[in-house]
Chain A
């Protein structure tokens, strides 16, 4: 997905040479090579269990980049269990029946005891004010003691350490509202080692050290809570969406995190981590036939499953303006949002174009008119889709006023830009600029390897086509200036609008004293 400016994806921790000379012989039946010169010569292959492979050969250095993407994200977590997709992603680094353990048979017995103790503790804690502090302390101690007992069998960090020795670069994973993705680059001679580790962790994963990792995730959440711009975004999504799960934070609500159990995570793992719910993209100095045969060797035994269909409430029409003040000790910022129709609608493409016209670069309207012209803004940015791409989401504008100008002045100026686009279509020059940049970015994108593998895997698994970005370019090219104005008139309405303002805490007190706020 090219337009990812505001797509939050929470990570586990904070010149290509296309081998056109390589004959395609040796590829097994069922493998197909992209031959249209508009696209890179990607080889596609699907295992019988449904695991999709995408392979692009690139020479220069003997390295390989691999991304495995699952179509499961925060939107797929059940009610009361937000954050489960992300916590599971952390747990995927905790090993298997043979990795990160010295004796799984005995460890398993202790892990069962830990689970019982943890559930007892959660049950007591969930009484909230009525919880007995002494009982909580005793149950917490029991859990801690059992975790220490399990330490006798755990080989903490073995999976990451093995990757370290193999020469990993960029080992990480990320969870968004829509998907979960696992990535790493390695010296290309380590391809088979990758197959061994990854097939093992997704077939035989053991979720050890669960409650400690849950604490790590709570720290991750606290880190973001300490950043006012992040607090604003969280408030924006929670306010703009009434019913759709995009309102929930991908890291989960703190109260949900406190009640997540290893049993929850195991069920989630069993439900969604299946070969027919995944795409593996491989970019680098590899032989495609070898990648396919190794994938067959290590992943064919992974059983396909029926993937549960998550009931997702469709967001009802907003039909009201929402204005929210967030109070924090930080300088003023605004976030303005309009519901978009999502990629299922042809209207999405004029909105993508519109976002570029407004805010990509110094010749874009926000910079020219708000940052440089009236000098109201320190910055003003937009993104056509946030926080996700699987469902209709938000067209988002983020801006900060430059003192002595106010957020209200800036908001008015943003609306003036929008209203102007509703009346006057953009110029041909503006639209050509967007297309030219898009084309240049598509060429430059091919220089990277890890990002490119991520792009292929995500576009294939989530949007159903690794060529999605190229096809988007075609759709943008076909747009007429009037299409942009029409889309602006349709979606940029007051009844479809949520505005969040960041104000100093004193503003709340002053307003309260004056009887203006509750």
Chain B
């Protein structure tokens, strides 16, 4: 891949010509162990540090409906519940004494286990890491502690309005029973047992469902591969069948949901449909998002923030999911003039679907994606994990390598067609949390309103 940043022609007079940028990100090396585990390696000796990350093919969208939270608790207890030969306390003591870290995070279709260590401690830390991934024991006491913490966090889930807004809006958009919309409840957390976690681990934590990326200060690919084989070759492969994520179709018509709350700002989010992976609409939608609500120069920032002073935060984006992503447009604004901000946002969404984006703005929008593309790879570790993600999410062949040219090919007509499809305000879901007695206009002027009680 050659990233060529295009020259800037719209610079004000007096600005030096910025030369084109050429960068060919290295591919890294890919290996497959006999048990199916895929390994990406990139040696990097600039600092005495080693980073390792495992992507496991299971996410929180795959939880059983009556045990929502199982995937996250399992990931947390990999380390916090101890392993076959290390208690949880021993793990914490060893890692924290060495200044090393092992952390898990769970996304919609992925669980990630990251490790960072100084080179000198690699054998010890990797030994702990491999056990955490392969042989966790989910100690009962630690499980109870984790569940109690989870329950306490559920009690606190409405303390921060912006968190509440996104969670509840997605719940209304996808429905409370769809994995992209559901939320953990006290009952679903309480229902999770140690046996559930053991079964979950046995079903999904299999080498043929894992991609590992390593970058840092090691002697050679061969040596690192040998080390990894010692730790992982005896891990038995298995048949992994992930639960199907149900199909979803957004409801038709404008719907407004409202929670009345005595707070200084009104928090507003508009949800519309989005994309799965490998959709041809990804490229026009990326450019549209940039133009509409990407950075400080976007239409929403210019119109709602800079020209009208109505908001500090206003943005729009379209996170993808394996199936049926979504598009959100978000704003925090004072309740006394909230209707002006909401009207302006709706106007900008409609404008994108009714008027072609002027050529100059299209070029700027593309430049703002193409020119900083190099920042996707700030370090060898980030680069190698991007390569691994490409495979993990089964992105189309040479996704990263072709990304820039695909963005460059987007036309005015592509943008208009995609905007008509996505930014369809007639079928938008609008979710508002705020103090109704301060509103300058009733919400019902924007469509049929359903008031919800916070719970």
Q: Which of A23-31, A160-168, A261-269 contacts B (4 or more CB under 8 A)?
A: A160-168
Q: Does A402 contact B (CB under 8 A)?
A: yes
Q: Does B243 contact A (CB under 8 A)?
A: no
- Residues B307 and A156 in contact, CB atoms below 8 Å apart: yes
- Residues B48 and A164 in contact, CB atoms below 8 Å apart: no
Neighbouring A residues of B236 by C-beta, 8 Å:
none
Q: Using known A-B contacts A13-B313, A215-B309, A362-B92, determine if residue A61 contacts B47 with beta carbons closer than 8 Å.
A: no
Q: From A231, which residue of chain B is reached at the shortest CB distance?
A: B264
- Residues A219 and B333 in contact, CB atoms below 8 Å apart: yes
Nearest Cβ on chain B to A43's Cβ, whole angstroms: 18
Q: From B367, which residue of chain A is reached at the shortest CB distance?
A: A165
Q: From B144, which residue of chain A is reached at the shortest CB distance?
A: A375
Neighbouring A residues of B18 by C-beta, 8 Å:
166, 187, 189-190, 192-193
Q: Using known A-B contacts A62-B23, A363-B96, A436-B97, determine if residue A449 contacts B378 with beta carbons closer than 8 Å.
A: yes
Neighbouring B residues of A196 by C-beta, 8 Å:
14-16
Per-residue contact bits, chain B 290-329, to A (CB 8 Å; 1 contact, 0 not): 0000011100011001111111110000000000000000
Q: From A189, which residue of chain B is reached at the shortest CB distance?
A: B19
Nearest Cβ on chain B to A100's Cβ, whole angstroms: 9
Nearest Cβ on chain B to A10's Cβ, whole angstroms: 10
Neighbouring B residues of A130 by C-beta, 8 Å:
none
Q: From B335, which residue of chain A is reached at the shortest CB distance?
A: A222
Q: Using known A-B contacts A219-B332, A447-B379, determine if residue A212 contacts B309 with beta carbons closer than 8 Å.
A: yes
- Residues B14 and A98 in contact, CB atoms below 8 Å apart: yes
Neighbouring A residues of B308 by C-beta, 8 Å:
212
Assembled-state Cα–Cα distance A209/B306 (Å): 8
Per-residue contact bits, chain B 359-399, to A (CB 8 Å; 1 contact, 0 not): 00000100110111111011111000000000000000000
Interface residues of A in 127-180 (CB under 8 A from B): 151, 156-158, 160-171
Assembled-state Cα–Cα distance A18/B371 (Å): 24
Q: Does A211 contact B (CB under 8 A)?
A: yes
Q: From B20, which residue of chain A is reached at the shortest CB distance?
A: A189
Q: From A433, which residue of chain B is reached at the shortest CB distance?
A: B97
Per-residue contact bits, chain B 50-87, to A (CB 8 Å; 1 contact, 0 not): 00000000000000000000000000000000000000
Q: Using known A-B contacts A216-B312, A436-B99, A437-B99, determine if residue A378 contacts B371 with beta carbons closer than 8 Å.
A: no
Q: Does B170 contact A (CB under 8 A)?
A: no
Point out the residue from B97, B159, B310 that lies within 8 Å of A219, measured CB to CB: B310
Assembled-state Cα–Cα distance A444/B381 (Å): 12
Q: Does A513 contact B (CB under 8 A)?
A: no
Neighbouring B residues of A433 by C-beta, 8 Å:
96-97
- Residues B161 and A151 in contact, CB atoms below 8 Å apart: no
Assembled-state Cα–Cα distance A427/B145 (Å): 27
Q: Does B451 contact A (CB under 8 A)?
A: no
Neighbouring A residues of B311 by C-beta, 8 Å:
216, 219
Neighbouring B residues of A517 by C-beta, 8 Å:
none
- Residues A227 and B47 in contact, CB atoms below 8 Å apart: no
Residue among A189, A429, A447 facing the most chain B CB atoms (10 A cut-off): A447
Point out the residue from A222, A363, A372, A400 that lies within 8 Å of B264, measured CB to CB: A222
Q: Using known A-B contacts A15-B47, A62-B374, A331-B156, determine if residue A223 contacts B306 with beta carbons closer than 8 Å.
A: no
Q: Does B215 contact A (CB under 8 A)?
A: yes
Residue among B48, B306, B307 facing the most chain A CB atoms (10 A cut-off): B306
Q: From B116, which residue of chain A is reached at the shortest CB distance?
A: A444
Assembled-state Cα–Cα distance A369/B359 (Å): 62
Q: From B375, which residue of chain A is reached at the shortest CB distance?
A: A169
- Residues A60 and B379 in contact, CB atoms below 8 Å apart: yes
Q: Does B262 contact A (CB under 8 A)?
A: yes
Q: Does B410 contact A (CB under 8 A)?
A: no
Q: Using known A-B contacts A168-B372, A223-B265, determine if residue A440 contacts B99 with beta carbons closer than 8 Å.
A: yes
The number of A-B residue pairs with CB atoms under 8 Å apart is 236
- Residues B378 and A61 in contact, CB atoms below 8 Å apart: yes
Q: Does A228 contact B (CB under 8 A)?
A: yes
Residue among A219, A225, A400 facing the most chain B CB atoms (10 A cut-off): A219
Nearest Cβ on chain A to B27's Cβ, whole angstroms: 15
Q: Does B1 contact A (CB under 8 A)?
A: no
Interface residues of A in 202-229 (CB under 8 A from B): 209, 211-223, 225-229
Q: Using known A-B contacts A60-B379, A187-B374, determine if residue A375 contacts B92 with beta carbons closer than 8 Å.
A: no
- Residues B381 and A15 in contact, CB atoms below 8 Å apart: yes
Q: Does A361 contact B (CB under 8 A)?
A: yes
- Residues A223 and B97 in contact, CB atoms below 8 Å apart: no
Neighbouring A residues of B8 by C-beta, 8 Å:
162, 165-166, 193
Q: Which of B107-115, B147-155, B275-283 contacts A (4 or more CB under 8 A)?
A: B147-155
Q: Using known A-B contacts A167-B5, A330-B156, A402-B149, determine if residue A162 contacts B11 with beta carbons closer than 8 Å.
A: yes
Q: From B382, which residue of chain A is reached at the shortest CB distance?
A: A15
- Residues B155 and A225 in contact, CB atoms below 8 Å apart: no
Q: From A90, which residue of chain B is reached at the shortest CB distance?
A: B312
Neighbouring B residues of A8 by C-beta, 8 Å:
none
Q: Does A439 contact B (CB under 8 A)?
A: yes
Neighbouring A residues of B97 by C-beta, 8 Å:
363, 429, 432-433, 436
Q: Does A38 contact B (CB under 8 A)?
A: no
Q: Does A16 contact B (CB under 8 A)?
A: yes
Q: Does B49 contact A (CB under 8 A)?
A: yes
Q: Does A403 contact B (CB under 8 A)?
A: yes
Point out the residue from B12, B98, B161 that lies within 8 Å of A99, measured CB to CB: B12
Assembled-state Cα–Cα distance A217/B306 (Å): 11
- Residues B372 and A440 in contact, CB atoms below 8 Å apart: no
- Residues A402 and B21 in contact, CB atoms below 8 Å apart: no
Assembled-state Cα–Cα distance A347/B306 (Å): 46
Neighbouring A residues of B273 by C-beta, 8 Å:
none
Neighbouring A residues of B370 by C-beta, 8 Å:
167
- Residues B307 and A151 in contact, CB atoms below 8 Å apart: yes
Nearest Cβ on chain A to B337's Cβ, whole angstroms: 9
New A-B contacts (18) at CB < 8 Å, excluding given A13-B296, A14-B312 = A15-B47, A17-B46, A156-B302, A156-B306, A157-B302, A162-B11, A165-B368, A167-B370, A169-B372, A170-B375, A192-B16, A215-B309, A223-B264, A228-B159, A228-B160, A439-B99, A443-B118, A444-B116
Q: 13 A–B contact pairs at CB < 8 A?
A: A99-B12, A166-B18, A167-B373, A189-B5, A215-B309, A222-B334, A223-B332, A361-B92, A378-B149, A402-B149, A436-B99, A437-B99, A447-B47
Going nearest first, the 8 A-B pairs with the smallest beta carbon separation are A167-B371, A440-B99, A215-B309, A212-B309, A160-B296, A220-B312, A164-B368, A225-B264
